[in-house]
Amino acid sequence: MNSNLTDEDLLHNYRADGDNQWLGYLLLRYTALLFGVAMKYLKNKTQAEDAVQQVFVKVLTHMPNEEMLNFKGWLYILMRNHCLQQLRDKNYHTDDASLEHLSASEPDKEELALRDNTLQQMEEAIELLNEEQRKTIVLFYLKKYSYEQIIAQTGYTFMQVKSFIQNGKRNLKTILLKRAAGRWL
């Protein structure tokens, strides 16, 4: 049904009824593009997959209200900027002395609201994973444990840990897309 609709039709439908299902269709249409852009910049499959999921969540939770003439181009720019920010965050090093010269700026309230909303949705989705996936996702992504540390804490094998993390990420994406399409489990 949705494959015959243009991007503009899907955006019109989304704006007409507010149903995130239309955005879900658009995101699925451009998953390969987003992954390609992420690979171009991040050069790491796992990081690229994570970036695609993070951009999906950003679109699903904070789609701009203004009319958009080129969704594909906008999505490309969103992914590119996300990747560049990832690279800046990764490569930015500073010492304590240089921090003293920075003035404290007021946090961007919109950005904080976006992060809070995204974190809340991710927390709810994580709770829907099975125990093994939930445990490994939390340890790996939230507590920054290495595979070896997860193996030591849980007793899972290396292959189990790898599988639980990969399947957990895929299931999180599915849960978030279903929620966006109005089919919260």
Q: What is the pLDDT along the chain (185 residues), one digit of tens a residue?
A: 567 888 888 888 888 888 888 888 888 899 999 999 999 999 999 999 999 999 988 888 777 777 777 888 888 988 999 898 888 877 654 444 555 555 555 556 666 666 666 677 778 888 899 999 999 988 888 888 888 899 999 999 999 999 999 998 898 888 888 876 664 44
Name the phi and psi angles at 144, rounded to 5: 60, 35
User: Contact at 8 Å (CB) between 177 and 167?
Assistant: no
Place of tokens 């007021």: 106
Domain with CATH 1.10.1740.10 in the chain: 1-91
The top-level CATH class assigned to 1-91 is mainly alpha
Second CATH level (architecture) for the domain 110-185 = Orthogonal Bundle (1.10)
Domain with CATH 1.10.10.10 in the chain: 110-185
- Which is nearest to 86 in space by CA: 110, 107, 105, 58? 58
